[in-house]
Amino acid sequence: MIELIPAIDLIDGKCVRLTKGEYDSKRIYNEDPVAQAREFERLGFKRLHMVDLDGAKSKHVVNDDVLKAVTQETNLIVDFGGGIKTEEDIEKAFNAGASMVTVGSIAVTKPELFMGWMEKYGAERMILGADVRNGKVSINGWLEDSEEDLLPFLKKYVDRGVKNVLCTEISKDGTLQGPATALYVEIMKAYPSLHLIASGGVSCNEDIKQLDANGIPAVVFGKAYYEGKIKVETLGLGEQK
Protein backbone atom coordinates (compact mmCIF):
# COMPACT_ATOMS: atom_id res chain seq x y z
CA MET A 1 0.00 0.00 0.00
CA ILE A 2 1.09 3.57 -0.69
CA GLU A 3 2.80 5.33 2.23
CA LEU A 4 0.57 8.10 3.57
CA ILE A 5 2.37 11.23 4.77
CA PRO A 6 0.46 14.25 6.10
CA ALA A 7 2.25 17.60 5.98
CA ILE A 8 2.81 20.46 8.37
CA ASP A 9 4.14 23.61 6.71
CA LEU A 10 5.46 26.20 9.13
CA ILE A 11 5.43 30.00 9.08
CA ASP A 12 5.95 31.85 12.38
CA GLY A 13 5.64 28.52 14.20
CA LYS A 14 2.10 27.91 12.89
CA CYS A 15 0.62 25.29 10.53
CA VAL A 16 -0.14 26.98 7.24
CA ARG A 17 -0.79 26.09 3.62
CA LEU A 18 0.15 28.08 0.55
CA THR A 19 -1.23 27.85 -2.97
CA LYS A 20 1.40 27.15 -5.65
CA GLY A 21 4.08 28.16 -3.15
CA GLU A 22 2.97 31.80 -3.08
CA TYR A 23 3.65 33.25 0.36
CA ASP A 24 0.92 35.87 0.08
CA SER A 25 -1.62 33.04 -0.28
CA LYS A 26 -0.87 31.86 3.29
CA ARG A 27 -3.72 30.41 5.30
CA ILE A 28 -3.29 29.35 8.93
CA TYR A 29 -4.93 26.02 9.76
CA ASN A 30 -3.60 25.41 13.26
CA GLU A 31 -1.63 27.69 15.56
CA ASP A 32 -0.24 24.69 17.46
CA PRO A 33 1.78 22.34 15.22
CA VAL A 34 2.55 20.01 18.12
CA ALA A 35 -1.15 19.49 18.78
CA GLN A 36 -1.63 18.89 15.06
CA ALA A 37 1.17 16.31 15.01
CA ARG A 38 -0.37 14.55 18.01
CA GLU A 39 -3.68 14.42 16.14
CA PHE A 40 -1.99 12.85 13.11
CA GLU A 41 -0.46 10.22 15.37
CA ARG A 42 -3.80 9.57 17.08
CA LEU A 43 -5.39 9.01 13.67
CA GLY A 44 -2.85 6.30 12.92
CA PHE A 45 -0.31 8.06 10.70
CA LYS A 46 3.27 6.89 11.21
CA ARG A 47 5.12 9.60 9.35
CA LEU A 48 5.06 13.38 9.01
CA HIS A 49 6.45 15.76 6.39
CA MET A 50 7.48 19.11 7.90
CA VAL A 51 8.46 22.11 5.80
CA ASP A 52 10.10 25.17 7.30
CA LEU A 53 8.75 27.85 4.95
CA ASP A 54 10.45 30.58 6.96
CA GLY A 55 13.67 28.63 6.46
CA ALA A 56 13.13 28.18 2.74
CA LYS A 57 12.68 31.92 2.34
CA SER A 58 15.57 32.96 4.58
CA LYS A 59 17.91 30.18 3.32
CA HIS A 60 18.65 28.66 6.72
CA VAL A 61 16.69 26.50 9.17
CA VAL A 62 14.40 28.62 11.36
CA ASN A 63 11.75 26.37 12.94
CA ASP A 64 13.96 23.64 14.45
CA ASP A 65 12.41 24.36 17.87
CA VAL A 66 9.01 23.34 16.50
CA LEU A 67 10.54 20.21 14.98
CA LYS A 68 12.09 19.33 18.33
CA ALA A 69 8.79 19.78 20.15
CA VAL A 70 7.02 17.51 17.64
CA THR A 71 9.62 14.75 17.83
CA GLN A 72 9.66 14.90 21.63
CA GLU A 73 5.88 14.80 21.93
CA THR A 74 5.13 12.10 19.32
CA ASN A 75 6.61 8.91 17.88
CA LEU A 76 6.10 10.07 14.30
CA ILE A 77 8.91 9.54 11.79
CA VAL A 78 9.55 13.09 10.65
CA ASP A 79 11.22 14.23 7.47
CA PHE A 80 12.16 17.90 7.57
CA GLY A 81 12.96 20.35 4.81
CA GLY A 82 13.13 24.04 4.04
CA GLY A 83 16.23 26.18 4.32
CA ILE A 84 18.78 23.37 4.51
CA LYS A 85 21.79 25.03 2.91
CA THR A 86 24.69 24.00 5.15
CA GLU A 87 25.87 21.07 7.23
CA GLU A 88 24.96 23.13 10.29
CA ASP A 89 21.34 23.15 9.06
CA ILE A 90 21.39 19.37 8.65
CA GLU A 91 22.83 18.92 12.14
CA LYS A 92 20.15 21.24 13.52
CA ALA A 93 17.43 19.12 11.94
CA PHE A 94 18.88 15.79 13.07
CA ASN A 95 19.62 17.12 16.57
CA ALA A 96 15.99 18.25 16.78
CA GLY A 97 14.84 14.71 16.04
CA ALA A 98 14.30 14.55 12.27
CA SER A 99 14.74 11.04 10.86
CA MET A 100 15.35 12.40 7.36
CA VAL A 101 16.03 15.75 5.73
CA THR A 102 14.79 16.98 2.37
CA VAL A 103 17.36 18.91 0.35
CA GLY A 104 16.49 20.54 -2.96
CA SER A 105 18.19 23.80 -3.81
CA ILE A 106 21.70 22.67 -2.85
CA ALA A 107 21.33 19.59 -5.04
CA VAL A 108 20.79 21.99 -7.95
CA THR A 109 23.37 24.66 -7.12
CA LYS A 110 26.09 22.60 -5.38
CA PRO A 111 25.74 18.96 -6.44
CA GLU A 112 29.05 17.81 -4.97
CA LEU A 113 28.12 19.27 -1.60
CA PHE A 114 24.83 17.35 -1.68
CA MET A 115 26.67 14.14 -2.58
CA GLY A 116 29.10 14.72 0.28
CA TRP A 117 26.18 14.98 2.68
CA MET A 118 24.63 11.81 1.30
CA GLU A 119 27.90 9.94 1.76
CA LYS A 120 28.27 11.27 5.32
CA TYR A 121 24.71 10.75 6.56
CA GLY A 122 23.57 7.88 4.31
CA ALA A 123 21.13 7.66 1.42
CA GLU A 124 18.35 6.48 3.74
CA ARG A 125 18.41 9.78 5.67
CA MET A 126 18.51 12.08 2.65
CA ILE A 127 15.52 12.97 0.47
CA LEU A 128 16.22 14.72 -2.81
CA GLY A 129 13.70 17.51 -3.24
CA ALA A 130 12.84 17.83 -6.92
CA ASP A 131 10.08 20.39 -7.12
CA VAL A 132 9.11 21.22 -10.67
CA ARG A 133 7.44 24.08 -12.52
CA ASN A 134 7.10 24.10 -16.32
CA GLY A 135 9.40 21.07 -16.46
CA LYS A 136 12.24 22.84 -14.63
CA VAL A 137 13.43 22.16 -11.09
CA SER A 138 12.61 25.07 -8.79
CA ILE A 139 14.76 26.28 -5.88
CA ASN A 140 14.83 28.55 -2.81
CA GLY A 141 11.30 28.01 -1.58
CA TRP A 142 10.04 27.91 -5.18
CA LEU A 143 10.98 31.55 -5.58
CA GLU A 144 13.37 30.75 -8.46
CA ASP A 145 13.42 28.30 -11.36
CA SER A 146 16.67 26.63 -12.36
CA GLU A 147 17.76 25.48 -15.81
CA GLU A 148 17.60 21.81 -14.73
CA ASP A 149 15.13 19.58 -16.57
CA LEU A 150 13.51 17.13 -14.15
CA LEU A 151 14.31 13.67 -15.56
CA PRO A 152 18.00 14.33 -16.37
CA PHE A 153 18.34 15.96 -12.95
CA LEU A 154 16.97 12.83 -11.29
CA LYS A 155 19.14 10.53 -13.40
CA LYS A 156 22.28 12.31 -12.25
CA TYR A 157 21.45 11.46 -8.65
CA VAL A 158 19.83 8.06 -9.07
CA ASP A 159 23.01 6.95 -10.83
CA ARG A 160 24.94 8.05 -7.74
CA GLY A 161 22.81 6.25 -5.19
CA VAL A 162 19.89 8.50 -4.29
CA LYS A 163 16.99 6.38 -3.04
CA ASN A 164 14.38 8.90 -1.87
CA VAL A 165 12.86 11.67 -4.00
CA LEU A 166 10.10 14.11 -3.06
CA CYS A 167 8.58 15.62 -6.20
CA THR A 168 6.09 18.46 -6.01
CA GLU A 169 4.37 19.70 -9.14
CA ILE A 170 4.19 23.35 -8.07
CA SER A 171 1.34 24.31 -10.37
CA LYS A 172 -0.80 21.72 -8.54
CA ASP A 173 0.29 22.47 -4.98
CA GLY A 174 -2.49 23.67 -2.73
CA THR A 175 -4.99 23.80 -5.57
CA LEU A 176 -7.01 20.67 -4.71
CA GLN A 177 -7.16 19.94 -8.45
CA GLY A 178 -5.64 16.47 -8.36
CA PRO A 179 -2.00 15.34 -8.44
CA ALA A 180 0.30 15.18 -11.47
CA THR A 181 -0.13 11.42 -11.72
CA ALA A 182 1.21 11.17 -15.28
CA LEU A 183 4.44 12.88 -14.19
CA TYR A 184 4.93 10.48 -11.30
CA VAL A 185 4.23 7.48 -13.52
CA GLU A 186 6.85 8.79 -15.96
CA ILE A 187 9.40 9.09 -13.14
CA MET A 188 8.69 5.59 -11.83
CA LYS A 189 8.90 4.14 -15.33
CA ALA A 190 12.35 5.70 -15.75
CA TYR A 191 13.59 4.91 -12.22
CA PRO A 192 11.55 1.99 -10.81
CA SER A 193 13.79 1.56 -7.76
CA LEU A 194 13.07 5.04 -6.40
CA HIS A 195 11.07 5.64 -3.26
CA LEU A 196 9.14 8.47 -4.89
CA ILE A 197 7.01 10.72 -2.72
CA ALA A 198 4.32 12.44 -4.78
CA SER A 199 3.30 15.90 -3.59
CA GLY A 200 0.88 18.57 -4.74
CA GLY A 201 -2.76 18.72 -5.72
CA VAL A 202 -4.22 15.81 -3.73
CA SER A 203 -7.88 16.64 -3.26
CA CYS A 204 -9.57 13.47 -1.97
CA ASN A 205 -9.21 9.77 -1.17
CA GLU A 206 -9.72 8.86 -4.82
CA ASP A 207 -6.58 10.78 -5.80
CA ILE A 208 -4.59 8.72 -3.31
CA LYS A 209 -6.13 5.49 -4.62
CA GLN A 210 -5.18 6.45 -8.17
CA LEU A 211 -1.56 7.10 -7.16
CA ASP A 212 -1.51 3.76 -5.34
CA ALA A 213 -2.99 1.96 -8.35
CA ASN A 214 -0.26 3.48 -10.52
CA GLY A 215 2.49 2.14 -8.28
CA ILE A 216 3.56 5.42 -6.68
CA PRO A 217 5.31 4.47 -3.42
CA ALA A 218 4.29 7.43 -1.21
CA VAL A 219 2.17 10.56 -1.13
CA VAL A 220 2.22 13.82 0.84
CA PHE A 221 -0.99 15.76 1.39
CA GLY A 222 -1.95 18.81 3.40
CA LYS A 223 -4.74 21.12 2.36
CA ALA A 224 -7.12 18.28 1.46
CA TYR A 225 -6.80 16.98 5.02
CA TYR A 226 -7.10 20.40 6.67
CA GLU A 227 -10.20 21.24 4.66
CA GLY A 228 -11.92 17.94 5.48
CA LYS A 229 -11.81 16.56 1.94
CA ILE A 230 -9.96 13.38 2.94
CA LYS A 231 -11.86 10.73 4.90
CA VAL A 232 -9.09 9.46 7.16
CA GLU A 233 -11.11 6.51 8.44
CA THR A 234 -11.21 4.97 4.95
CA LEU A 235 -7.50 5.41 4.15
CA GLY A 236 -6.54 2.01 5.52
CA LEU A 237 -3.98 3.39 7.94
CA GLY A 238 -3.68 0.01 9.66
CA GLU A 239 -2.38 -1.46 6.39
CA GLN A 240 0.57 0.93 6.04
CA LYS A 241 4.06 -0.47 5.57
Using one digit for the tens of pLDDT, what is the confidence trace for 141-181?
Answer: 666 788 899 999 999 999 999 999 999 998 888 889 999 99
Where the chain has pLDDT below 70, the residues are 141-143, 238-241
pLDDT reported for residue 140: 74
Active-site residue identified among 52, 64, 79, 131: 131
CB 2 within 8 A of CB 188: no
Q: Using CA atoms, how far apart are residues 115 and 134, in angstroms rounded to an integer?
A: 26
- For the stretch 32-48, pLDDT in tens is 999 999 999 999 999 99
State the DSSP code for 173.
T
Active-site residue identified among 9, 52, 54, 207: 9
Catalytic site includes residue 9: yes
Collect all residues with Cβ–Cβ distance below 8 Å to 101 and sequence separation of at least 6: 79, 80, 81, 84, 90, 93, 94, 121, 125, 126, 127
pLDDT reported for residue 146: 86
Closest by CA position to 146, among listed 155, 157, 135: 135
Strand (E) or helix (H) holding 146? strand 144-149
pLDDT reported for residue 46: 97
Catalytic site includes residue 212: no
